[in-house]
A = this chain, B = another copy of it.
Amino acid sequence: MTEFAQLRALVFDVFGTVVDWRTGVIREATRIGGPNHPDLDWAAFADAWRGRYNPSMELVRNGTLPWMTLDALHRQSLDELLIEFGATDLTPGQRDELVLAWHRLDPWPDVVAGLTRLRTKYVIGTLSNGGVGLLVDMAKRAALPWDLVLSADLVGHYKPDAETYRLPGRLLGVGPDQVMLVAAHLSDLLAARGQGLRTCFIPRPLEYGPAREPDSVDAATDIDVVQANFGDLATYLGC
């Protein structure tokens, strides 16, 4: 714990770490698309949509696409997916509404209480590839008590580009080692570590549902802290 005496801010990955995207997207997709397509496998649809998340951002990262928000990428991949899933009758209005599913996700049960404790001692913020508008909508709906909403939007780069991890320290006027990234994904944490941030892994075993193994760590993984949930992290950090 003394090793974290200089820690000033905790920034959080959002999709998967803070909120359960899969349950929320299945719920919204079933609500919006279900009446016309009662037999469509909306869980498979949610998984396929999430499957296009990284490839779509990669097109921005490598310069194939200009900067665009995650909402815009979600809309592009949705249009492609609806062809694949045979649901091309969804109207433009229904598609816009479906993109907003990603704004309406519920936090894991430990999140709100844990963040409320953590913010008594630290600046807490998002550090997400979701857009600022998305993150604000989500926070208001789910009562996430962020001090600061930080997004890939603010630097025009998606994680794991280095610019994203440098943002919190720069804006707060503190060193990168005074900022800790909290995430359920090793690729995110290791990229943050490469920019000098402290790192905390929180396993989210249900993130991908039954179909896919979530990330896990062992003693050899180069992560500062592993805690079971946000409440345990608050206890560990003395909040």
List the B residue with the shortest CB-CB distance to A122.
B140
A32 contacts B by Cβ under 8 Å: no
Tally of chain A residues near chain B (CB < 8 A): 20
Given contacts A123-B140, A140-B123, A149-B149, contact A132 B69 (CB under 8 A): no
Residues of chain A from 156 to 185 with CB closer than 8 A to chain B in the complex = 171-174
The answer, among B71, B131, B149, B174, for a CB contact under 8 Å with A147, is B149
The answer, among B71, B119, B140, B173, for a CB contact under 8 Å with A133, is B173
Per-position contact with B for A111-133: 1 when CB-CB < 8 Å, else 0?
00000000100010000000111
A153 contacts B by Cβ under 8 Å: yes
A223 contacts B by Cβ under 8 Å: no
Q: How far is the CA of A172 from the CA of B69 in the complex (A)?
A: 11
A59 contacts B by Cβ under 8 Å: no
Q: Tell me whether B154 and A136 are in contact (CB under 8 A).
A: no
A217 contacts B by Cβ under 8 Å: no
Q: Tell me whether B171 and A132 are in contact (CB under 8 A).
A: yes
A44 contacts B by Cβ under 8 Å: no
A40 contacts B by Cβ under 8 Å: no
- A69, A123, A154, A171: most-surrounded residue (chain B CB, <10 A): A171
Residues of chain A from 140 to 154 with CB closer than 8 A to chain B in the complex = 140, 147-149, 151, 153-154
Q: Tell me whether A132 and B172 are in contact (CB under 8 A).
A: yes
Q: Tell me whether B123 and A136 are in contact (CB under 8 A).
A: yes
Q: List 21 A-B contacts (CB under 8 A).
A: A69-B173, A71-B173, A119-B140, A123-B136, A123-B140, A131-B173, A132-B148, A132-B171, A132-B172, A133-B171, A133-B172, A133-B173, A133-B174, A136-B147, A136-B148, A136-B172, A140-B147, A147-B149, A148-B149, A154-B154, A154-B171
A-to-B contact residues, CB < 8 Å: 69, 71, 119, 123, 131-133, 136, 139-140, 147-149, 151, 153-154, 171-174
